[in-house]
Structure 1
């Protein structure tokens, strides 16, 4: 960690940085285990090229999740925000331990309770980021409008600007948009979403319980988080069964999985390139 960042982190935390050890696993940011002069250990992520508000809105997202009952009662953990600056975010250090026997069931029940902590509407009162991509959350009156306007359309525009989206693929999305109000499922209240819930953003804390990190929060359809969880693996069958026991899903939810995987797949196209376009095509095949 550069000296200027060490000084900024120490000043924000009220104790000088004695040691900063690099941690692996971050695609977007650098991650550090920081030991302070008073002996306290904290987790710090840094990015000297980050947009000025990126860490601030992540901190707001963590706090928004922490308001929910399953975090307050300890079913789920979310790291506490300790300090934030334009180039860093300092969080409670969540040490890891072996999973408790009912880890998957706790995670499933906890996610259902998190989703039930309904926000005011579809969207959020501020924009944020998914990975390093901007994510608009302008409120919408209904979920189909929000999903098209705030999720799929911006990613399609970005992919078009990068020269990754063919005219034929764009026409297929236009066909989907014409049918979207009938495809999104029965009307439901907005859910409090993590927003980027792949296996890398699930952590096991020192007590062996589930913790959620690196969110991209908003009020949306609860099947969005569940579809993302199924996209790249990392979640056991018991997680989904426990979720359904706590809050059964609406009829047709299995058929909607590829619909709600389109957003993270398009995000991956824009983050990592056209190698994900085949997955986008296959998801469209399943919903058109």
Structure 2
């Protein structure tokens, strides 16, 4: 009896007996999507982060509706939902009613990192899908202009420490941000009619050329210059050199509380790769629902 209970406990290898090909099926779906469109990888990685920070890692971000998390401001630019749906469709054919959407998102995030050059890690599985999704709850997500103290508190509220904060934000080594998110730093920072002093003066003309004053706010710019589709620790080197694009990222270097953690990853790509996987597992444990706390959705966009 004890052995049977252990088999169904949230853990690595959860689907070994009930759906042996689960991880392979998800990996294949992500691989096909990223090959066709590299921007899908950072999109899925952000999706996992945004899901876990709102009511835990329960796929509540996937639910459709007029006031669900997906419609919240911080989530409007997320991409990759169709990849999760495709993986779920294939899994329902192979193992009906077995693999949760929450686990698919966790696996897809790991696979997205690996496909862009990052190191793999083992993903504990056995999450169940949540039943509640509210746009208003997305206010819990860290914002692009929050001070370090606010970022630290939001991470601490999820059981994540400063080291996890600096490590997980390193996911910005892949992906982009819209000009509208950071262009205020380039021209009139804090109503000074001057740029944010954290921006390297030699980097400023490059950003201004990409995001001219009064220009297209939806234009996208690499968060990690020179590494938009390649996972690695160059993000931290850019922060040190005043080339952080988003204000909250740049503050990781300018604030001594987090700077010491940034320094650990400078020149040590293998250390970052290892620590990123560790922190992803830790974040993936936030608010996990098991047993009767959730369900296994038939489709990821709606509860049963």
TM-score range, shorter chain: under 0.3
Q: Which structure shows the higher strand fraction? A: 1
Q: Higher relative contact order at CA 8 Å, sep ≥6: structure 1 or structure 2?
A: 2
Q: TM-score scaled by structure 2?
A: 0.26
Q: Which structure shows the higher helix fraction? A: 2
